[in-house]
C-alpha cells in the first residue's frame, strides 16, 4: 500500500500528537520535554521541538548516533539561517529555497547518524 506525502504527514503528525499527549499524562511534571524519542526493534523516531512548537522529526536505524544533535543543528544552522532570515520565505508556506534544501541535505549527510551502520 502506498500513500501520498500528505497522508503520510497526517499519519506522522497524529502519532506525534498521541505520543506527546500520552507522555504528558504519564509524567505531568516534565511537560516541557515531552516525547523526544520513540524506539521500536526496527527504527527510532526522534523529535526535536522548538519553543515555538516547530517540530523536526527524523526516522533512523535504532543504533544511529547523534540524531538529537543533528536535529538541533538543522534548526539553528539551517532552518534559522536559510528560512527565517530569508525574506523570500513566507511563514506557513512550503519552503521552496534550493539553498535551504542543499544545506539540509549536506547537514544530514555529514551527521554520524547518516553514515552509521546497523549493528
What confidence score (pLDDT) does residue 76 get? Answer: 94
What confidence score (pLDDT) does residue 71 get? Answer: 94
Can you tell me the mean pLDDT for 9-32?
77
Calpha distance 116→70 (Å, rounded): 13
Q: How confident is the model at residue 118 (pLDDT cuts 50, 70, 90)?
A: very low
What confidence score (pLDDT) does residue 119 get? Answer: 44
- Is residue 5 pLDDT above 70, yes or no? yes
The answer to whether the CB of 23 falls within 8 A of the CB of 9 is no
- Is residue 50 pLDDT above 70, yes or no? yes
Sequence-separated contacts (24+) of 16-21 with Cβ below 8 Å? 16/47, 16/55, 16/57
Can you tell me the mean pLDDT for 14-27?
81
- Is residue 67 pLDDT above 80, yes or no? yes
Can you tell me the mean pLDDT for 18-45?
76
Calpha distance 102→100 (Å, rounded): 5
What confidence score (pLDDT) does residue 33 get? Answer: 55
Q: Is the pTM of this model over 0.75?
A: yes
Task: Give the chain's end-to-end CA distance (angstroms, integer).
Answer: 29
Q: What is the mean pLDDT of the chain?
A: 86
Share of the chain above pLDDT 70, in %: 88
Calpha distance 117→64 (Å, rounded): 8
Amino acid at each position: 500500500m502506498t500513500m501520498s506525502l500528505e497522508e503520510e504527514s497526517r499519519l506522522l503528525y497524529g502519532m506525534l500528537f498521541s505520543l506527546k499527549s500520552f507522555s504528558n499524562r504519564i509524567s505531568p511534571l516534565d511537560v516541557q520535554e515531552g516525547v523526544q524519542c520513540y524506539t521500536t526493534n526496527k527504527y527510532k523516531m526522534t523529535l526535536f521541538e522548538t519553543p515555538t512548537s516547530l517540530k523536526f522529526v527524523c526516522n533512523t536505524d535504532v543504533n544511529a548516533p547523534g540524531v538529537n544533535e543533528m536535529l538541533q543543528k538543522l534548526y539553528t544552522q539551517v532552518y534559522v539561517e536559510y528560512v527565517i532570515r530569508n525574506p523570500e520565505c513566507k511563514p506557513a508556506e512550503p519552503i521552496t529555497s534550493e539553498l535551504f534544501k542543499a544545506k539540509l541535505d549536506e547537514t544530514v549527510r555529514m551527521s554520524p547518524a547518516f553514515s552509521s551502520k546497523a549493528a
